[in-house]
Structure 1
Amino acid sequence: MSNLKKLAGQTAIYGLSSILARSINFLMIFVYTSYLNKEVVGSFTGIYALIGFLNIVFTYGMETSFFRFSTGKNLDPQQVYNTTQSLLITSTLFLGTGIYLLAPWLAELLDYPGQAYLFRWTALILSFDAILAIPFAKLRLSNRAFAFAGAKIINVLLNVFFTLLLIVWIPSLIVSGSIREGYLGYQSDWGIEYILLANLFANGLIIPYVWWRAGFFRFSLDKEIIRPMWKYAIPLLFMGLAGVTNELVSRLLFEYLLPENFYPGLSPREAAGIFGTSVKLAILMNLVIQAFKYAAEPFFFGKSTDKNSPQLYARVMHAFVIFCSVLMVAISVNLEVVGYLFPRGEGYETAFFIVPILLMGYLLLGVYFNLSIWFKITDNTKYSFWITLAGAVVSVVVIFTAVPSLGYLGGALSTLVCYLVMTAICYYYGQRHFPIPYQTGKDVGYLVIAFVLSYVGFFLDLDSAGLNFFAKNSLVVLFLAWVGYREKELLGAVLQRKKAS
């Protein structure tokens, strides 16, 4: 129980920093839309999608490899850190230089003529991100959650400061006459340039701080460590690339597969915007999963050599399913309230009915993350690629077949079916290679009941707003009571431990 308490505490710290960082970044959208034109905002979306994809290439699974080879391999953790960081710096030098030299070609290919400097700055941003990855991973492995969270928040605040300075404050000073046009080379017609520069400055300035907090390293390329790490990491690279496909493909293809006039009065692109808004509501589940992943990955590896680790992994999975099932019900029954937290106009609520499906899809992604520990600690990472590829294929097939006939529902089902298939395959092979005594029957039962209650609460519509809110949230209380009844032995053990302490 103390292990679970420790994991829960660290997840809360990671979650707070992750939610705060993403909330601040979300609020920056208001700055971009208020001070920059739509073309610039479109450039921001496109270039940062490219950055998100290439980030996986630049790190190529070495974070997870670092966790694996720092624990349970009878290797010196400091030497593993030295080698991993040195390897990433070396590969980043080659990859970053390649993109830097290809910048003119990329500018022409992506329709940014004469703006090759944008992709040179992109190469630097990617390089800074990559050489920060392992120091951040070391902070996680060392259970220094506050140091990790603090560095992440400082990075975000620096980004906000430079964004406001370049996009809001300096233009205001120019307009007021406090400084002249062109001061220090400032160009008023720049937009996406200043978004990239703010990111570049923030990442560059945080490097010394993060390296200091993680502990400086000695450059070393130990071939005896690199060879098995490469073998372990490369499947994770392809898993990451396939995972990006699973995450983004529905939003990328939705507008192109939806027939004209499928939704009267809406173009396919407008319908895709409504679909995307509903996806954002479901991201609330993803925040929890991301926070859990930050804390759980080093935790799982740290316990991998414990003879009782399978039982511990099963308890973690059970607690995760319970917490996320309750969260799914709570969000689903309160979508009318949650929906007002997001920028919205007329018509966005028409797709809210798919949110419980998306929430279940992301919850299954979290279950998959729990299950995936078997191939990470048994060095069978080749399975990660094939499982994720299977999910990507299923996702694309469902999108192409369901969106033209089901619209929003088809897009949501692609997410749900993708992660359901990945979870089922991972569970099947995991129990063959590294059996873990999961409470499968109970966990599946919680998921099914939570999904049903989510839709009962979503469609519940009473005449009185107050009564409606009370009735919807009574379903959350009812679910919690049922879980408490099913887990009375666990609750009794917790209370017993508290009395003893």
Structure 2
Amino acid sequence: MSNLKKLAGQTAVYGLSSILGRSINFLLIIVYTAYLNKADLGAFTGIYALIGFLNIVFTYGMETSFFRFSTGKNLPTQQVYANTQSLLILSSLVLGTGIYLLAPWIAETMEYPNQAYLFRWTALILVFDAILAIPFAKLRLENKALTFAGAKLLNISLNVFFNILLIVWIPSWISQGLIEDGFLGYQSNWGVEYILLANLLANGLIIPWVWAKAGFFKFSLEKSVLLPMWKYSLPLLFMGLAGVTNELLSRLLFEYLLPENFYPGLSSREASGIFGANFKLAILMNLVIQAFKYAAEPFFFKQSSDKNSPELYAKVMHYFILFCALLMVAISVNLSWIGPIFLQGSGYEAAFSIVPILLMGYLLLGIYFNLSIWFKITDHTKYSFWITLLGAVVSILVIVGLVPSLGYLGAALSSLACYLVMSVTCYVLGQSYFPIPYQTGKDIFYLFIAFGLSYLGFYLEFDEAIWSFLAKNLLVAMFLGMIIILEKKQLNQLRKRI
């Protein structure tokens, strides 16, 4: 149980930084919906979906490979770090140059005429992200959670600062006559451009500090080290693409699949902006999963040699589901007042009903992450390719088949369908190769109850707002009470040992 306590403690540190940082970053959606038009939000949604896909290509699973070869292959961590970081620097520069040169073609293809500079900046953002990935992974491996958290918070704080400076403060200074329009090349008609520039500046400024904290390295490309790592990580590339396929493909393709005038008074790009903004409302679930992943991945590898590790993995999964299911209900039933706080302006409430589906999709992503440990510690990462391919096919079929007729709902269902199929497939295969005693029946029961309560609470309304609020949150209390009653024995044992 001390291992669970250690994992919980590190998750709390990562979670605090992630939740604080992302919460600060999340507040930008208030700025975007208040100061930018829906077309700019649509552009933001589409371009950042592309960045999400390409981030996976630029790192191609080397973070997980770094953990595996630093902990289970009898290689010095510094040697693995030097080789991995050297390879990523080289490959990211090659890939980034390719995107930079292809920027005019990409701009025309994605219907951004005469805006090739957007994709040149995108190339630089991707390069910066890639060369920071392994230093951040090394901080996690060395249990430097506070240093990791500090770096992430600094990066996000800089990003927020530059966003507010470029989108809010400078236009205000211009309107007050404090500075002239065009000062230092400032263009008042830009929107998504300043989101990209803020990201680029924030990432670039923290690179020296993060590299120094992770430890400098000697450029090294040793075939004996990198070839096995490459074979291990290549299937993980496809696994990562499946994850972003579910999370990002709907946002990337939405405006191109949605028929014109599907939503009266909105262009397809404006409707994409509404869809992307509502995706942000599910971010709290993603925060929990990200914080858990930061702590759990190195933890799982370090525990893999323990004979009791299967039981430990099962307990981690069970408590993860309990917490996330309760969070899903709490967010869903309170969307009627949470949504308008963060999404300023009119029209965004039209897609509130898809948020519970998106929350469940993120929860299934977390479950899949837990389940995927079996092929990572048994070196059967080839299975990630097939699971990934299946998930991607399901996601694409649902998106293409349902978005033209169901709009927002069709895109959200792709998230649910993809991760559900991937989780079930990963579970069945994992129990054959590396059996783990998951509390499957009980976990599925909690998921069904939580999803049902989420939608019941979302649609539950009374004439008086206070009665609606109390009734909705009574459902949260009921679900929590059910967990406490059904899990009383395990919770008491956990409390005593922690």
Task: Indicate the larger mover: 91-100 or 22-31.
Answer: 22-31
How far residue 381 of structure 1 moved from its aligned partner, in angstroms, is 1.4
1:316 aligned residue: 316
Closer/same/farther in 2, CA of residues 350 and 48 from structure 1, 3 Å limit:
closer
Task: Indicate the larger mover: 245-254 or 401-410.
Answer: 401-410
Structure 1 SS opposite 2:218: coil
Structure 1 Cα separation of the partners of residues 320 and 305 of structure 2: 22
Residues 100 and 119 in structure 2, CA contact (< 8 A), matched pair in contact too: yes
Residues 86 and 221 in structure 2, CA contact (< 8 A), matched pair in contact too: yes
Closer/same/farther in 2, CA of residues 66 and 403 from structure 1, 3 Å limit:
same
State yes or no: 1:85 paired with 2:85.
yes
Closer/same/farther in 2, CA of residues 252 and 115 from structure 1, 3 Å limit:
closer
> How many percent of aligned residue pairs carry the same amino acid?
73
Superposed CA deviations along residues 429-474 of structure 1, whole A, max 9, x for unmatched, are 0011111111111111111222222233333334443333223222
How many residue pairs get aligned? The number is 497
1:122 aligned residue: 122
Structure 2 Cα separation of the partners of residues 403 and 68 of structure 1: 40
1:198 aligned residue: 198
2:158 aligned residue: 158
How far residue 35 of structure 1 moved from its aligned partner, in angstroms, is 6.2
Structure 2 Cα separation of the partners of residues 70 and 266 of structure 1: 52
Superposed CA deviations along residues 215-256 of structure 1, whole A, max 9, x for unmatched, are 222222222110111001111222222332222233344455
1:461 aligned residue: 461
Residue identity opposite 2:368 in structure 1: Y
Structure 1 Cα separation of the partners of residues 29 and 474 of structure 2: 35
Structure 2 SS opposite 1:380: coil
Residue identity opposite 2:297 in structure 1: E
Give the TM-score normalised by structure 2: 0.89
Residues 72 and 304 in structure 1, CA contact (< 8 A), matched pair in contact too: no
Closer/same/farther in 2, CA of residues 307 and 102 from structure 1, 3 Å limit:
same
5+ unaligned residues in a row in structure 1: which ranges? none
How far residue 187 of structure 1 moved from its aligned partner, in angstroms, is 4.2
How far residue 15 of structure 1 moved from its aligned partner, in angstroms, is 2.3
Structure 2 SS opposite 1:305: coil
Structure 1 SS opposite 2:57: helix
What pairs up with 1:162-181 in 2 under 5 angstroms? 162-166=162-166
Residue identity opposite 2:434 in structure 1: F
1:55 aligned residue: 55
1:365 aligned residue: 365
Residues 21 and 156 in structure 1, CA contact (< 8 A), matched pair in contact too: yes
How far residue 375 of structure 1 moved from its aligned partner, in angstroms, is 1.0
Structure 2 SS opposite 1:461: coil
Return the index of the structure with the highest Cα Rg.
1
Residue identity opposite 2:363 in structure 1: L
Closer/same/farther in 2, CA of residues 46 and 281 from structure 1, 3 Å limit:
closer
Residues 72 and 305 in structure 1, CA contact (< 8 A), matched pair in contact too: no
How far residue 209 of structure 1 moved from its aligned partner, in angstroms, is 0.8
1:381 aligned residue: 381
Closer/same/farther in 2, CA of residues 398 and 53 from structure 1, 3 Å limit:
closer
How far residue 170 of structure 1 moved from its aligned partner, in angstroms, is 5.5
Residue identity opposite 2:280 in structure 1: K
Structure 1 Cα separation of the partners of residues 329 and 432 of structure 2: 33
Residues 367 and 423 in structure 1, CA contact (< 8 A), matched pair in contact too: yes
How far residue 114 of structure 1 moved from its aligned partner, in angstroms, is 6.1
Task: Indicate the larger mover: 165-174 or 485-494.
Answer: 165-174
Structure 2 Cα separation of the partners of residues 448 and 294 of structure 1: 27
How far residue 142 of structure 1 moved from its aligned partner, in angstroms, is 1.5
5+ unaligned residues in a row in structure 2: which ranges? none
Task: Indicate the larger mover: 277-286 or 128-137.
Answer: 277-286
Structure 2 Cα separation of the partners of residues 262 and 175 of structure 1: 37
Structure 1 SS opposite 2:397: helix
What pairs up with 1:185-224 in 2 under 5 angstroms? 185-188=184-187, 191=190, 194-224=194-224
Superposed CA deviations along residues 401-454 of structure 1, whole A, max 9, x for unmatched, are 344554544333222121111110000000111111111111111112222222
1:483 aligned residue: 483
Structure 2 SS opposite 1:340: helix
State yes or no: 1:340 paired with 2:355.
no
Residue identity opposite 1:379 in structure 2: D
Superposed CA deviations along residues 297-326 of structure 1, whole A, max 9, x for unmatched, are 111112112221111111100100111111
Residues 55 and 129 in structure 2, CA contact (< 8 A), matched pair in contact too: yes
How far residue 122 of structure 1 moved from its aligned partner, in angstroms, is 3.1
Residues 30 and 344 in structure 2, CA contact (< 8 A), matched pair in contact too: no
Structure 2 SS opposite 1:341: helix
2:7 aligned residue: 7
Closer/same/farther in 2, CA of residues 441 and 157 from structure 1, 3 Å limit:
same
Quote the RMSD (CA, aligned, Å): 3.0
Closer/same/farther in 2, CA of residues 98 and 408 from structure 1, 3 Å limit:
closer
Closer/same/farther in 2, CA of residues 268 and 207 from structure 1, 3 Å limit:
closer
